[in-house]
């Protein structure tokens, strides 16, 4: 089935460690997004990518990094510079370009810093 | 800058009664508006969207939304609420930044509680 796969679903990290969250899609979508969700704050955009080898900072990019080497993959690295990384992370994709279509979401990854 | 406001943190409604979840937006150009639903520890699921045309948009699970350009609103509605509708609902707007990149902005979400 077509969709977006995020892994791992749950992740624990010690302070000072980098961690990478995986996001893979088989929908042939050009655009991919990473959002962070915290209680009472909704979804905040971390990074987005419209095409391969190109990505843009969102509203809260500090302490995060991404790559887009393949159309299907958009991994997010949470670095030790991120002051408060404990959150629920959501990856999404859409057809991109001039599309007015909706976003398709993965099931999320919950990161807890111990 | 584009933005979305969902003024109610929580909406409580009795099962069988009509429900409304409010959303207002701000965006340059034509608004492309969306509603999503999220169940606990899950991703968001698309409900419906307004791109152009009829101001009343019908979507999944019996939900509909009314676009009002003069009030910059896009309220979500359902004629008869079900207990299974209890979830977190997000309104979103799609726009373009100064660099020509698409950007989707979400509201903070409204928790809908349907009481049996």
The answer, for A13 touching chain B at a CB cutoff of 8 Å, is no
Q: What is the secondary structure of chain A as a DSSP string?
A: ---EEEE-SEEEE-TT--EEEEEEE-S--SEEEEEEEETTTEEEEEEEEEETTEEEE-TT-TTEEE--SBTTB--EEE-TT-S---EEEEEEEE--TT--PPPEE---EEEEE-
Residue B97 near residue A57 (C-beta atoms within 8 A): no
Q: Confidence class of residue A21 from pLDDT cuts 50, 70 and 90? A: very high
Contact A48 B103 (CB under 8 A): yes
A56/B101 CB distance under 8 A:
yes
- Look at B102 and A35 and tell me if their CB atoms are within 8 Å: no
| Tens-place pLDDT, residues B49-62 | 999 889 999 999 99
Query: Average pLDDT in the A50-74 region?
Result: 95
pLDDT cut 90: percent of chain B above it: 78
CA nearest A12: which of A85, A90, A108? A85
- Burial-class residue A98 by CB neighbours within 10 Å (0-12, 13-18, 19+): exposed
What does the DSSP 8-state code read for residue B16?
T
Substitution target from A5, A34, A100, A112 for chain B, most B beta carbons within 10 A: A100
Residue A97 has pLDDT above 70, yes or no: no
Q: Do A40 and B43 touch (CB under 8 A)?
A: no
DSSP label of B78 = E
Give the model's confidence band at A98: pLDDT under 50 very low, under 70 low, under 90 confident, else very high: low
CA B39 to chain centre: 15
- CB of A60 less than 8 A from some CB of B: no
Q: Which of B42, B51, B104 sits opposite A103 (nearest CB)?
A: B104
Establish if A31 touches chain B: CB-CB under 8 angstroms: yes
- If you search the block for the tokens 């020509």, which residue do you land on? B100
């Amino acid at each position: 089935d077509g969709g977006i796969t995020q892994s791992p679903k749950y992740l624990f990290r010690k302070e000072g460690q980098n961690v990478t969250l995986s996001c893979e899609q088989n929908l042939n979508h050009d655009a991919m997004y990473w959002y962070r969700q915290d209680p009472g704050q909704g979804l905040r955009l971390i990074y987005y990518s419209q095409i391969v080898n190109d990505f843009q900072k969102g509203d809260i990019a500090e302490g995060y990094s991404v790559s887009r080497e393949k159309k299907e993959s958009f991994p997010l690295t949470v670095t030790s510079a991120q002051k408060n990384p404990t959150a629920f992370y959501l990856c999404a994709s859409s057809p991109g370009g001039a599309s007015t279509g909706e976003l398709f979401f993965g099931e999320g990854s919950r990161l807890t810093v111990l | 800058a584009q933005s979305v406001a969902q003024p109610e943190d929580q909406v409580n409604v009795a099962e069988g009664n009509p429900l409304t979840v409010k959303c207002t937006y701000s965006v340059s150009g034509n608004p492309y508006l969306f509603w999503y639903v999220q169940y606990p520890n899950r991703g968001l699921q698309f409900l419906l969207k307004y791109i152009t045309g009829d101001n009343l948009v019908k979507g999944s699970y019996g939900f509909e939304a009314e676009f009002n350009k003069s009030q910059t609103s896009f309220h979500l509605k359902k004629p008869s609420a079900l207990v299974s509708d209890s979830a977190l609902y997000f309104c979103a707007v799609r726009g373009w930044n100064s660099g020509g990149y698409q950007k989707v902005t979400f509201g903070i979400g409204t928790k809908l509680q349907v009481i049996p």
